[in-house]
Amino acid sequence: MRLTRTALDGPVVVELEHRADDRGFFARSFDRATFAEAGLEAVVEQANVSFNHRAGTLRGMHYQLPPATEAKLVRCTAGAILDVVVDVRPGSPTRLQHVAVELTADNRRALYVPPMFAHGYLTLTDGAEVVYQVSEAYTPGVERGLRHDDPVLGIDWPLPVAVISDKDAAWPLLEAGA
Identify whether 10 is part of a domain. no
Q: What is the CATH number of the domain that holds 106?
A: 2.60.120.10
Identify whether 126 is part of a domain. yes
Identify whether 1 is part of a domain. no
Identify whether 75 is part of a domain. yes
- Of residues 61, 57, 50, 51, the one with CA closest to residue 162: 57
pLDDT tens sequence across 93-143:
999 999 999 999 999 999 999 999 999 999 999 999 999 999 999 999 999
Count of domains in the chain?
1
pLDDT tens sequence across 19-77:
999 999 999 999 999 999 999 999 999 999 999 999 999 999 999 999 999 999 999 99
Identify whether 16 is part of a domain. no
Q: List, by residue number, the catalytic residues.
A: 62, 132
Q: What pTM does this model have?
A: 0.94
Identify whether 31 is part of a domain. no
**Using CA atoms, how far apart are residues 119 and 60, in angstroms rounded to an integer?**
6
The whole domain housing 88 covers 44-169
